[in-house]
Every structure is written in structure tokens, then in C-alpha cells.
A and B are shown apart, each in its own frame.
Chain A
């Protein structure tokens, strides 16, 4: 193993651990604003920067060391009560934390972080110097990684210098006999005469100076200059921390499967040799059942290794919410719940941006200004709740605010004004559909996009991203009470429960999560409303789309069945010829070749390959005119 390889692992470890640590620091900073005198908090934050600095030193990340060192010095003063946490200090600290995070980003890309913004460093230094002369210490330490020994010596006056020399220059040979005694005695002794100190820094002056200036060529820990990482490793965290108990379970199960395979092999030779008595068949049945059980257990166990507590994602939000609220002159507390809920690692990464957007949206649009809140008789401090929980085979994420709520009427008017919907459409919309208008591309409830929410990313992108994860998003809102966004996600992306439907003899798979119910389609019940074929289901008028029409196939017969499907914005009936039942499909994506409306393929138990349909995309292909005329739906039937 080369040194380089070793350090690459180290860098990964460092980033994972230090990123967690920094998120913890971020949250503690938010707490600190509320309780600026909390010594425990100050101590924890101090230690956070201190620890990051220590690790960064081994990676040779000089700029990160410098930045952490200054921030740590500032916290040292704060925790010792030499300074108080002022707003100005807080701003500098928060800026420094952000800068540390940027530097992690650089390290992640495999490059040494560039120096922090000189202004930030200057403000840090002046914040430290603002109170005490000793702040010059921090200034002196600026270019150093490991030199404070030397750097601080001249500042500290003659006494210390003498002490320092006494300490560093005691020859170890002379000290040896008495040292042992001193250590064993374990008595407090004065530093000057203390023999144990012989080991403190028994380096030649040249070595000390060299350490002050730079590292020796023989210095191995730390990167020699910028580090190249494989391209594929960049941008995305590609390691995962897995509980060893979970890995052991995978190992155990694969062992069990191996044993069952052996049993099947032996049964196979028995059967090939002509044995087909009841005992043999029974044994075969047993072995196959066992394999069935083991494989699904293994699938679960492997899936679990990818599961991560969502708290890792949530950690960074309190800080974001706080910064936003402050920028807008609002007082917002982000309350987290269900951080221990586990979710697939790739989803955690892909959820990061949508949730940020929802929080931004809540703080910017949802929460009223303090004056409005007071006028409405609400506490000035508002609460945004970010919650995760598992509901059956789904993960539900909630972003809820206690703000002004949405006004369905206003939303419809806005959508008409922007030309997104027609008056007619607006009139048929219920409250829920109106709320969902915010997910339309080009919809923004504020006339002027603020620099908080309006960053060119709209709610439509949030929705698209959630849908990419096979999830759905829904809005509940009541005026004056607040708005709740509910995101529902599958537990994993690898296995999708599907309903197998048939068009003629050809099976297709549709995501089971969208299926509300299956019904029979009687041609007499099909009516044409506004040029569309529709059916009334328990008083609700549903558009009816024959699958053949969506796929552009010539319709051969009268569809007999309908699958009532629910997307985030609407419900409709998919008319089909028959269905085969449900199956847990293992999705194989068609990376290079992806026909419109096809999400992927899966293989049925009988070996047949089946397309998994992307219903939303198929519907989208219909364009604005989503109606399917009754005639298109059942031409042959008309002829008959």
C-alpha cells in the first residue's frame, strides 16, 4: 500500500467525520444565539474547531488549519469569559464556519483548499484582538501549522523564554535516572526542574526552525501537494459507514444461501438420475422455499446496508433556516423530528436540495413578517417543522410552517394571469389542485422573486426531483394556520412494487404506489365531458385514458378494466385489457436507450421481459390537451 493510497483513505475518513462534526457545530451555533452564555456549548464548539484543526494538520491543509485556529482562539476567549458573544462575533463565526465547509468541499474534490477570504481572516483577528493584547498571539500563529511553540515564545516575555529553553534543552541522558523517579512518584513538580519534560521538545534548534518554516522532506503524513482522486469519486460521497452487525447479517445470509445451493445441486443430480419420488420432490419444494426466504432476507439485509439515518441530512438545516430568517428579519425556529428514520443513502443526497428549497420557501413565503404575526395574534417567533417517519413501506417527510397559509383563490388567479391554466380549468379545481399549482413550471407566488427563494429553481424542480425518486409531494394548507408539504418516498429505489397490466397479450408494469383501485369499465358508463372520455367513480368524474392510446397503439378491442391511478396533481383511469397481479420488480434501467414513457424494464418470474411504464411521462406526452375523446377510446365498440 502506497503512502498516497493510505492518505486517500485518511482523507475520506476525515471528511466524513469532520463534516458530521461541523454540522454539529452549526447546530450548536444556532443554539448559542439563544443562550450566548452557555459555557458547555462554547466548549463543545471550541473543541469542534480544535479537532478539525488537528486532523487538517495531518492532511497538510494549511489554510484550513489557519482558519480553524483563529476561530478556535476566538472561542477560547469566549469560553473563558474574556469576551461575550456579540452579534458581530456571531456573524464572523458563522462566516468562518461556512468557509470551513467550503474548504471541505475543496478537499472532497481532492485539492488543497485555497486561503480563506482575507477579510474574514482579518475580522477574526480583530474580533480576537478587540478584547485582549494577547490576541497578537493568534496573529503570530497565522502562517504556522505546528509552530505555536516558536511563534508564541517571543511574545510571551523573558520568563517564559527561559522556561521554554530550560524545558526543551535538558539533555535527555542527564535527565534519565531522575525522570523515572519523578514519574513514578507522580508528584507535581515545577516545570523548570521537571525531568519528565525532557521529552517535550528535545529537538535541535535547527529542527525547531525547520518545523516552523516548513516540513522536512521525510515528513510522510499529509499530502505532498494537491491530491488527485479518481474522477468518479468526485462530487459525490462514495463511501458509506455501515454497522458491522448489518454486514455480518449479509455474510450470514450468503452463507446460508450457499448451503441451500448445495442442497439444490444434490437434488438436481438426484432428479436428473431419474428419482422423482415424493420425498425428493418434497425436499426440492423445501429447498426452493428456503431459498426464496433467504433471498428476500438477503435483499432486505443488503438494502439495509444502504440505509442511513436521515438526521445526517437534517443536521445542516437549522443553520440554513436561521441564516435565511435573519436575512429576512424574521424569527424562525426549525424543529427537527424523526432524525433516526432510515432512508436509502442515494435518496439522502438527492433530497438535500429539494428540502432546502422547501425550507427556504417556508421561511420566505410561508412565514409572515413579525409585525403581521403580531397583528394576527401569533407569537413572533415562528416554527418550521422538519419531520421524517416511516409509514409502512414509505418514508414520509414533512416540512410544515405555522405561517399565513395558502389562498387557493389567489393561486388560481395567479395561474390564470400567468397563462398556466384557463378560466375553465380554474373553475373545476378544488382546493388541493389549486395548491398544487405552485408546482407548475413558471409559477411563483411573489411578483418579484426574492433572492432567498427565487434562485431560478422553482417548486416545479422540487417536484421533479421528488418524482425522480419515485416519490410524491402533496400540500396541505389552511389560511392563517400554515402550510404543510408532505413528501412520500419509497424505502428503496432498487425494488419497485408494480401492478402488471395487459394490453392484448402484452404485459406492462405500472408502479403500484400510483394505483388506487381496479375497476371494470362498462362502455355504457363512459361519458364524454368537454370532449373527453370520462367515468364517474363514486361521484367523482375521472378522465379515462386507454393505455393503447397513450402508447400510440391501434386499439384492438374494448378495454374491460380500468386502473384508477393517482398522481400528485390528478386522478385518472387507465383503461386496459386485463391484469396479471402485483410483483416486486427489480428495476433495470435502460441507460443508453430510453423510450419516452418507459422507466425501465424488469424480468418476470417466467423469464418474460416487461417494460415498466412512466405514467406521468406518458400523460405529459398528451400535451396540454389531455382529453381523450370518447370515440378514440372505443371505436370498435361504436361500430358494433
Chain B
């Protein structure tokens, strides 16, 4: 876990604002208070390109640009490809997991989840990327 969680800037991407709020609240519970939001992949990518983000938590199924495309775009962008991306979805179908893994997702979390589950996933990712 990073020494100062509030230093890590998150981007929470979901088209359902209630869900963004849930994720934001869970992150806050874990001490991650620096959170911005985007309502779809396209908006998210724009924000990410503007810079300043350390971590992306994204929904899968969204209009305009879905989470998988966002992930692929992030990985294809030399400036962004190092960003940890945690995928959130209501499903844990094998195709989804494989697709996410192949696209280079840092983690995969199934709705609904608790702060504890989220923490677990985040800790694993932080450990790997050395944040």
C-alpha cells in the first residue's frame, strides 16, 4: 500500500453515476480521496491524456467507448500504458476475463464488491507496480 493514499489520483469510469459514487465512496473508505470521474471511455481517455492520473478503475459496459476499448487504448498509448487499470463488471464470464487479461488489465473485480475486496485487489496491483 502506498504511504499516502491521498496522493494517488484515481479516475473512476462508469456511465451510471450511482455506480461512480459507490466506487468513489469505497475508495474514500480506503483513504483514496483523490478521485476524478468520467462517464464513458471516450471522456476517460481524454482526461487521462491530459495527464495527472495514477490509477484507472473502469466499468466494462458503457456507451461510446466501453471499458475494454479504453483499456486497449491506454495500453496502446506510450504515455499511458504503464497505468494500472482495474476493470469492474457485473459478470465474470470466461470470455470477459480472458479478454481483459489479454488487453492487459491489472485486475478484475465483480459487482457487487465490498471495500475489503476492493482493497485486496488494489493492494495486489500496488504491490506489482510498486506504487
User: What per-residue 1/0 map shows which CB atoms of A202-222 lie under 8 Å from chain B?
Assistant: 110000000000001011111
Q: Is A273 an interface residue (CB 8 A)?
A: no
CA of A57 to CA of B26, assembled, Å: 15
CA of A221 to CA of B115, assembled, Å: 8
Q: A148 to chain B: which residues have CB within 8 Å?
A: 91-93, 110
Q: Which of B21, B93, B111 contacts A13 (CB 8 A)?
A: B21
Q: Are A172 and B115 in contact (CB under 8 A)?
A: no
Query: What would 5 A/B residue contacts be, using CB atoms closer than 8 Å?
Result: A44-B63, A47-B15, A197-B97, A198-B128, A199-B124
Q: Could you tell me the distance in whole angstroms from the C-beta of A176 to the nearest C-beta in chain B? A: 5
Given contacts A47-B61, A47-B63, contact A183 B106 (CB under 8 A): yes
Closest to B115 in A: A220
Closest to B25 in A: A6
User: What per-residue 1/0 map shows which CB atoms of B82-106 lie under 8 Å from chain A?
Assistant: 1010100011111001101111111
Given contacts A196-B106, A220-B115, contact A183 B82 (CB under 8 A): yes
Given contacts A58-B112, A167-B101, A198-B124, 8 further A-B contacts (CB under 8 A): A46-B61, A51-B16, A149-B110, A167-B97, A182-B104, A199-B124, A199-B125, A221-B26
Q: Is A501 an interface residue (CB 8 A)?
A: no
Q: Are B103 and A188 in contact (CB under 8 A)?
A: yes
Q: Summarize A's interface: helix, strand, loop or mixed.
A: helix
Q: Is A164 an interface residue (CB 8 A)?
A: yes
Q: Are B75 and A186 in contact (CB under 8 A)?
A: yes
B residues whose Cβ falls under 8 Å from a Cβ of A: 15-19, 21-22, 25-26, 59, 61-63, 75-76, 81-82, 84, 86, 90-94, 97-98, 100-108, 110-116, 120-121, 124-125, 127-130
User: What per-residue 1/0 map shows which CB atoms of A46-81 lie under 8 Å from chain B?
Assistant: 110011011101101000000000000000000000
Given contacts A167-B97, A175-B128, A191-B101, contact A219 B91 (CB under 8 A): no
Q: Are A172 and B124 in contact (CB under 8 A)?
A: yes
Q: Is A350 an interface residue (CB 8 A)?
A: no
Q: Are A199 and B106 in contact (CB under 8 A)?
A: yes
Q: Which of B15, B103, B125 contacts A51 (CB 8 A)?
A: B15
Q: B101 to chain A: which residues have CB within 8 Å?
A: 167, 189, 191, 194, 196-197, 200
Q: Are A152 and B104 in contact (CB under 8 A)?
A: no
A residues whose Cβ falls under 8 Å from a Cβ of B: 6, 10, 13-14, 17-18, 21, 44, 46-47, 50-51, 53-55, 57-58, 60, 145-146, 148-149, 152, 156, 160, 163-164, 167, 172, 175-176, 179-180, 182-184, 186-191, 194, 196-203, 216, 218-222
Q: Are B94 and A164 in contact (CB under 8 A)?
A: yes
Q: Are B22 and A221 in contact (CB under 8 A)?
A: yes
Top 7 A-B pairs, shortest CB-CB distance: A57-B112, A199-B107, A149-B92, A186-B75, A199-B124, A191-B98, A179-B128
Q: Are B108 and A152 in contact (CB under 8 A)?
A: no
Q: A17 to chain B: which residues have CB within 8 Å?
A: 16-18
Q: Are B19 and A55 in contact (CB under 8 A)?
A: yes
Q: A149 to chain B: which residues have CB within 8 Å?
A: 92, 110
Q: B121 to chain A: which residues have CB within 8 Å?
A: 199
Q: B17 to chain A: which residues have CB within 8 Å?
A: 13, 17
Closest to B118 in A: A221
Q: Could you tell me the distance in whole angstroms from the C-beta of B37 to the nearest C-beta in chain A? A: 14
Given contacts A172-B127, A221-B112, contact A51 B19 (CB under 8 A): yes
Q: Could you tell me the distance in whole angstroms from the C-beta of B130 to the nearest C-beta in chain A? A: 7
Q: Which of A44, A175, A183, A201 contacts B104 (CB 8 A)?
A: A183
CA of A202 to CA of B16, assembled, Å: 27
Closest to A6 in B: B25
Given contacts A54-B111, A184-B81, A188-B102, contact A156 B94 (CB under 8 A): yes
Q: Are A199 and B108 in contact (CB under 8 A)?
A: yes
Q: A175 to chain B: which residues have CB within 8 Å?
A: 128
Closest to B102 in A: A188
Residue from B21, B59, B81, B104 having most chain A Cβ neighbours under 10 A: B104
Q: Which of A13, A21, A194, A198 contacts B102 (CB 8 A)?
A: A194
CA of A176 to CA of B62, assembled, Å: 31
Q: A187 to chain B: which residues have CB within 8 Å?
A: 104
Q: Are B81 and A200 in contact (CB under 8 A)?
A: no
Q: B111 to chain A: which residues have CB within 8 Å?
A: 54, 57-58, 146
Closest to A50 in B: B61
Q: Could you tell me the distance in whole angstroms from the C-beta of B122 to the nearest C-beta in chain A? A: 9
Q: Are A180 and B130 in contact (CB under 8 A)?
A: yes
Residue from A47, A60, A145, A200 having most chain B Cβ neighbours under 10 A: A200
Q: B25 to chain A: which residues have CB within 8 Å?
A: 6
Q: A14 to chain B: which residues have CB within 8 Å?
A: 18
Closest to B60 in A: A50
Q: Are B108 and A201 in contact (CB under 8 A)?
A: yes
Q: Could you tell me the distance in whole angstroms from the C-beta of A312 to the nearest C-beta in chain B? A: 16
CA of A44 to CA of B61, assembled, Å: 10
